[in-house]
Amino acid sequence: MAAIVQVKPITDVPDTSRASAAPRDPTFFQNPYTFYAERHASRPAFFWEEYGHWCFADFKSVSALLRDKRFGRDILHVASREEIGLPPPKLHTADFDLTEKYSLLNLEPPAHTRLRTLVNRAFVSRQVEQLRPRIRQLAHEMIDAFEGQDSIDLIKAFAAPIPAIIIAEMIGLPAEMAPQLLNWSNRMVTMYMYGVTRETELDANQAAADFTAYLRSVIAERRKAPQEDLLSHMLTSDRDGDVLSDDEVMSTAILLLNAGHEATVHTTGNGVKSILESGLDPHALFATPEQAEATVEECLRFDAPLHLFTRYALADIDLNGINLRKGDVIGLMLGAANRDPARFANADSFDPFREDGANVSFGAGIHFCIGAPLARIELQEAMGVLFERLPKVRIAEPPRYGDVYHFHGLEKLTVSWK
């Protein structure tokens, strides 16, 4: 399923618990933190009228609910569509739905455990640490290509290509395919927008169909001639006769390609913006590995790449006085939790030297982002090289965020260094 949505309307909500903010309103998605601050000051557990479900904005609740096994990303393993009022799948999004069918992001145990076990080995810290030299090399190559210009869009010229190339190479796809992979991915993630139109669905479905066709051809080649890459690993892994089907491999590869660059692109753009607007010395923030790590963690906290993650209630639940029915949706507000003043001193200040650093930007529990170790290394190395090579880099035009609220990232970040 493309996005988790509340199906049966919830009506028994007191007015004092309701809040309204239009996700497609530029005033909101350009700066959702004003809305978050209002929630923290009044009711961090509130009913978001536009979405039609309960949301949680405080760090303690979000962190706990991400780990709460009474909630899940899927519901159809414990309920029928009829039971919870879920409409039948749309025929015109069949290709997109197929890419989501075996997605780690949506599966629940035991199917999730099986797939994650097979993929996880490639993303553990000791494995991705070996990629640091390659990431630095790519960062230098990107800067070499634009250093002679007066200004560039950092998202397009630097933030987007590096993680796309890295994850493509890990999976076993050629680096020159990265622009096409980005195109398919960007079109597919529009399915997570609020108020998706049929036109958007058709375009996302076509991107999914093209992505699927390409991967099927590569999978067929790898079955004939396996290589030393993640795609071959998934195709040849055999746990007591249990092997992955082509559809499972395809769905997992697409998730890794999409998720493997989406958060990193956004955090790179958001992070560079935060650092340059802070007035701090960027070079000093990456002067040592320890400080680089702390800086990246603060970038992830201060302006998170993903702001809303949803779960289904797997049974009827009384959640601290909030009555949820089986199939009801809850929204976990990662970006808001990271700015919770009850958890962080001066929560709305960018402080890479803070001693109370933490964040839920990669989630928690069984759906904790499998690519988090890789993303952190990409951010440390890419931003470190950027500020090392361009010490005078500055923001040349007012940055603007994209109209995809869930994925909070800059549409464009024009910078200059002369």
Per-residue model confidence (pLDDT) at position 272: 98
Please say whether the beta carbons of 347 and 298 come within 8 A: no
Write out pLDDT tens, residues 261-301.
Answer: 888 999 999 999 999 999 999 999 999 999 999 999 999 99
Give the pLDDT score at 348: 97
CA 57 → CA 37, 43, 44, 337, distances in Å? Answer: 9, 9, 5, 5
For residue 45, the surrounding DSSP H or E stretch is strand 45-48
The position carrying tokens 């190339």 is 165
Pairing of β 329-332 and β 53-56 = parallel
Query: What is the reported pLDDT for 333?
Result: 97
Instruction: Output the pTM of the full model.
Output: 0.93
* Burial class of residue 200 (count of CB atoms within 10 Å of its CB; 0-12, 13-18, 19+): middle
d(CA 308, CA 396): 30
DSSP 66-112: HH-TTEES--TTTS-HHHHTPPPPPGGGHHHHHHHHT-TTT--TTHH
* The token pair that represents 397 in the structure block: 């035009």
Domain boundaries, the chain: 89-305+348-416
- Please say whether the beta carbons of 302 and 36 come within 8 A: no
Q: What is the pLDDT of residues 355-400, one digit of tens each?
A: 999 999 999 999 999 889 999 999 999 999 999 999 999 999 999 9
What whole-number distance in Å separates Cα of residue 380 and Cα of residue 59?
25
The per-residue pLDDT for 278 is 97
User: Residue 3's pLDDT is what?
Assistant: 60
Place domain 89-305+348-416 in its CATH homologous superfamily.
Cytochrome P450 (1.10.630.10)
Residues in the chain where the model's pLDDT stays below 70:
1-3, 5, 7, 239, 241
pLDDT reported for residue 14: 87
